[in-house]
Amino acid sequence: MQEALGGSEELAAIQDVDWTVRAKTWNQSGAPGPDVERRIRWIRPNVFRKDQRNGERVIKYFFDGEAGWELVPQAGLVELEGRELEFVSGEANSTYPQKWLPDRYPSLRVISGGPDVIRVLGGDGTSGKDIVVDLETGLPLRIVGTTLSGKIGAAYTRVPKRLEFAEWRTVAGIKWPRRLVNFHYGVKLADMTTTEVGIDVGLDIDDLARKPDVG
């Protein structure tokens, strides 16, 4: 799989990513939700910035590897702490390309879940995710596992998640998801299309850390 994506050493050598997607969304009952635009910027090893607009709602996160801040509609600009810190740090540590390099993390265990399944287990040896691979192309078809879900400022819970990779594009020699479809409890919640992606574009940590003006 790693070779099909561009090579394990090439994936591990990526220093930063600037990725923007647009998405159609639905709620758990199947009703259409707001259009979403999300920009993720990541600098190795786990500096992370996300700027997202859901209809009229704007959400921003920054994480420097240990701490950070968030801008949310309910609370304004606040420091990351508690479950919010756990949620954002989890996103930072699972951004592409780290998602494709689980064998490089001592805290994870990678085993076979079948002829076309790469099973990634957490430190407890049980929780984890399955990466289902197309045996003809070597590229991932879907990831099945769980994810933290909930409203900001409220309790998060883990829910069954399936992320399907419908289309791919090549950027700087690396295969990158062009279209992804996200399901929770088997219900389609988002159909996402990459609009822009840059690899090793020279992102600046100070720029990512700059807090928005909230007036």
Q: How far apart are CA 74 and CA 198, in angstroms?
A: 32
**Per-residue pLDDT reduced to its tens digit, 7-30:** 999 999 999 999 999 999 999 899
Instruction: Please state whether the predicted TM-score (pTM) of the whole model is above 0.75.
Output: yes
Q: Is the pLDDT of residue 77 over 90?
A: yes
Tell me, what's the pLDDT at 165?
A: 98
The residues with which 181 forms a beta bridge, in sequence order, are: 164, 191
**Per-residue pLDDT reduced to its tens digit, 82-125:** 888 988 998 898 899 999 999 999 989 999 999 999 999 987 76
Tell me, what's the pLDDT at 160?
A: 84
What is the residue-averaged pLDDT of the chain?
91
The fourth-level CATH superfamily of domain 8-209 is: Lipoprotein localisation LolA/LolB/LppX (2.50.20.10)
Q: No. of H helices and E strands in the chain?
A: 3, 13
Tell me, what's the pLDDT at 13?
A: 97
For residues 173 and 198, is the Cβ–Cβ distance under 8 A?
A: no
